[in-house]
Amino acid sequence: MPAFNHAPVRMPAEWEPQTAVMLTWPHANSDWAEHLNRVEPVFHAIVAAIASQQNVIIVCDNSELQARLQKWYQHQPQVQCQLAGSDDTWARDHGPISVYRHGQLQLQDFVFNGWGGKYAAHQDNAISQQLHQQGVFGQVNLTQHALVLEGGSLESDGQGTLLTTEQCLLNPNRNPTLNREQIEQQLRDALGFERILWLQHGHLQGDDTDAHIDTLVRFAGPDTLLYCQAQADDEHFASLNAMEQELKALRQRNGEPYRLLPLPLPSPQYSAEGDRLPATYANFLIINQAVLAPIYGVDEDHAAISTLAQAFPQHRIVPINCRPVIEQYGSLHCLTMQIHTPEDASWR
């Protein structure tokens, strides 16, 4: 645990030890219906990469899907398939958030309202509570909160600093009765943040999360930030360049500037209707001893993998082609939610 540890509550950095990663499987009664043949292989690739390092929790919308996946993974005891109804598959935003309270793991369950009421979310919002009632999290406590908050909007350095965006957390479609100070106080109380760094700029075309931080900027250590950088002729250039200037002005807890490592934007990806899709290399997932890197089958993939390897020299970089996933406007990190290691390590 970091030496600072002034607060009784601490949201760990993603690179800290994990017990499991949760995914919510796509199904025919969701917007994924016409994409299932292309997207399920991506999910299987993600599960295979995670299961080599730790447990995987797969949320299944119905008993038929659960039986099919249980058969698929019958020889992999580290993969468990749990039954819970779902509207969509973005576990990063409806899954529980790990914190340590006085060193003991607890899970925080915030309200998920479909990114400000854009999509149905009633079933997704209930998933964490159902898994807890089924005993999936063992003896780890799950605390429910009235605050609307998604995991994709939070980036923790594990040492009390939160990086986030004003576009998302201050958007009135989440918590219209709360101002910035009130939201900050709830983040401090529930997740233990001592410093909150707000970004005013940065967005991706096609993103419907109101600029989740995990599509734009990520911690690769308490002193290092990985961020999206656009070419001058790209429509994102003005916004991402303004974000880059903000990042240059940010300071670490010790007053030093952050080490900044730019990630290229992938070549523009478009839907069948001609709309640009939110492809980003910042949406990687850190697991035990590996980093799962979203790629898109474009020239920029190699440079992104090289930068991730530079940022995470102790981790193996595992590329996963997420081109089918961005058809539904998210990527690899958005699909997953890590559960960190309990203090007593009895649940693994």
Catalytic positions, please? 334
CA distance 132 to 135: 5
Sheet with 155-156: list strands edge to edge.
Answer: 155-156, 161-165, 195-199
What's phi and psi for 228, nearest 5 deg?
Answer: -75, 135
User: Residue 260 burial (CB < 10 Å; 0-12/13-18/19+)?
Assistant: middle
Tokens in use for 222?
Answer: 């308490």
CA distance 200 to 211: 10
State whether residue 298 is helix, strand or coil.
coil
Single-letter amino acid code for the residue at 84: A
Tokens in use for 206?
Answer: 């096609």
